[in-house]
A and B are shown apart, each in its own frame.
Chain A
Amino acid sequence: MSGALPAVAPRRRGRVPAALLIPAGLGLLFLVLPLAGLVVRAPWTTLPQRLTAPGALTALRLSVQTATLATLFCLLLGVPLAWLLARVEFPGRRLVRALVTVPLVLPPVVGGVALLLVFGRRGLLGGWLDATFGVTLPFTTAGVVLAEAFVAMPFLVIAVEGALRAADHRYEEAAATLGAGRWTTFTHVTLPLVAPGLAAGAVLCWARALGEFGATITFAGNYPGRTQTMPLAVYLALETDLESAIVLSLVLLIVSVGILAALRDRWMAAP
């Protein structure tokens, strides 16, 4: 059946130009090679011992705990903020949105310094907190949560605001015609509608919090068991025990890839 014509004229729009293909390949290599190096250099034989070493486990537990607490903190404050930005017209909304995204582009160390200036013992709020409640935030586990939340919250706010904007607000009007006030509409209609976006934002926020380094070490220091999270432990181990650093890095890599896999349907499904 197949005629000669289609066979000799394959449907192709010429070849991919080498000027694009070569840099593209190099770019891919550049991204993948370091990760491959991590896997290749991993001390596979001593891996179980190193993983179960008390220091590593403590750092991992602290990281997971603080990242989770930071995510909850971000959900509590970030979702209402996203709702406000997406649903309420108010003067200066563009400015507020720009301010929310500042921590995204700010070097985390600067964020840590800024947090110290406000919540530090002699900071704007820190002094008052210390004098009134006896609460000290810098160089504590709570300080770690605060530093991580500061850096990670924009991810959540942006994801949730995007989901809110994409959701059809006429469902909220329909809810109002059925007698639902704004709060009930928010909890019974809006939140379920944006649940997938909310979940994606929370996972992204959690991943960012887990990897936080600069703001944490500046604001909370590096005390094992109290403020030493995985990234900090990796940095410290690098100076004394390279193999240990590799193992800890590998753990973080596996966690990150796991998150990516969890988000695959939402972020990687683009054509």
Chain B
Amino acid sequence: MTPPPDDESGNAPPDGEAGNAPLLDARLVVDRGAFRLDVPLRVASGEVVALLGPNGAGKTTALRALAGLHPLTAGHVTLGGVDLDRPAGRGWVPTERRPIGVVFQDYLLFPHLDALDNVAFGPRRHGVDRRAARATARDWLDRVGLAGQAHRRPRQLSGGQAQRVALARALAVGPSLLLLDEPLAALDARTRLDTRAELHRHLAAHPGATVLVTHDPLDALALADRLVIVEGGRVVQEGDGPSVTARPRTDYVARLVGLNLYRGRAEGHGVRVAPELTLSVADRLDGDAFVAFRPAAVALHPSRPDGSPRNTWAGTVAGVQRHGDNVRVQVDGPIGVAADVTPAAAAHLRLIPGQRVWVAVKATETHAYPAAT
């Protein structure tokens, strides 16, 4: 029953904003049966943070806890110095009195109201009279480029238009904290591209804090200033786009950014990633370490390549798939590895599942970094 200690020492936000208090300061602890979400989150004014993670990681629960749609088990949500939820201190502000705006995954536009009244709904509930609320709504619809659709019902709007109405509705109340749940997931690929660019413009202009939840790394990289990767209810990695993509710390992130990733013990220029496999790496380090390299950096040979001081090992082809212009080959062995080869090379090697091949990776193509945080 004792709530876990509520210090942030182990989870200090990355450089820059540790000094001044962030607009949103939260530690989201929610127990749901056997599942426990425990995510520390700090977001500065004007900052956009993406919670990125696989389905079932607890991202949406985190968002619902921020919105007050799901009470915390422990921890706290503090926005602009006001406790919105703090189980230990009995602090609780109900959803309708939180200065928030939420864009839901399937938008949840009220079907019985037209676009204008959907957007005016928030201002009306905040005590603005009907005429002024409609004026505000018209202004927001204009900003998202939907002035002409003001009197359409939600079912008469396209997916992209509905998304923009939902965004306008959330922003029309001037929220300190904007929350977006998979804002682009319901759109087709083409609309998604246009909407993503437009959404980025609006998020960048939003003066408050923004937390968006997504399982799509492209959305996260395009929209967010900072990524918080959540797996199994915990933060496994956080940082800006380039640092996360260059140095993945879990298989999930490695797969997202398309890298082979291994964990092992480093001694100088070698990292032991399997009992009888030590990879030679360009970087020099000691202790617990990650090694990452691109699938395109992996070469496959029909027999043992000789002569060069490269990382080589024997493996078995487990799968072959088209991947862009190349062929992606999964090879089992002491470590599983993904290799991208040209269709010509694949034909030459007669790659079929079960085939024995030799795998080679140049040390200069690898990237090793410490596993300890």
Contact = CB atoms under 8 A, between A and B. Distances in A.
A177 B100 contact: yes
B67 A177 contact: yes
A192 B126 contact: no
B102 A174 contact: yes
Overall SS of chain A's interface:
helix
A189 B100 CA distance: 19
Interface string A180-212: 110010001100110100000000000000000
Nearest to A181: B96
Interface in B115-172: 121-122, 125-126, 169-170
The size bracket of the interface on B is 20 to 34
B29 to A, nearest CB: 21
Contacts, number: 55
A193 B69 contact: no
A179 B104 contact: no
Nearest to B111: A193
Interface string B63-94: 00001110000000000000000000000001
A176 B95 contact: yes
A40 to B, nearest CB: 47
Given A184-B125, A193-B111, A178 B169 contact: yes
A259 interface: no
Contacts of B110: 171, 174-175, 189, 192-193
Contacts of B108: 168, 170-171, 173-174
A192 B109 CA distance: 13
Interface string B2-41: 0000000000000000000000000000000000000000
- The CB with the most chain B CB atoms within 10 A, among A171, A175, A179, A180, is that of A179
B49 interface: no
Interface residues of A, number: 18
B183 interface: no
B350 interface: no
A189 B109 CA distance: 11
A175 B69 CA distance: 11
Given A170-B104, A184-B125, A176 B96 contact: yes
B97 A179 contact: yes
23 contacts: A170-B108, A171-B108, A173-B69, A173-B95, A175-B110, A175-B121, A176-B94, A176-B96, A177-B67, A177-B69, A177-B96, A177-B100, A177-B101, A178-B96, A178-B101, A178-B122, A179-B96, A179-B122, A179-B125, A179-B126, A180-B125, A193-B111, A193-B112
Given A174-B104, A176-B69, A177-B95, 17 more contacts: A168-B108, A171-B110, A173-B108, A174-B102, A175-B110, A175-B121, A176-B68, A176-B96, A177-B98, A177-B101, A178-B96, A178-B101, A178-B121, A179-B97, A184-B125, A189-B110, A193-B112
Counting from the closest, the 3 A-B pairs by CB-CB distance are: A179-B125, A178-B122, A176-B95
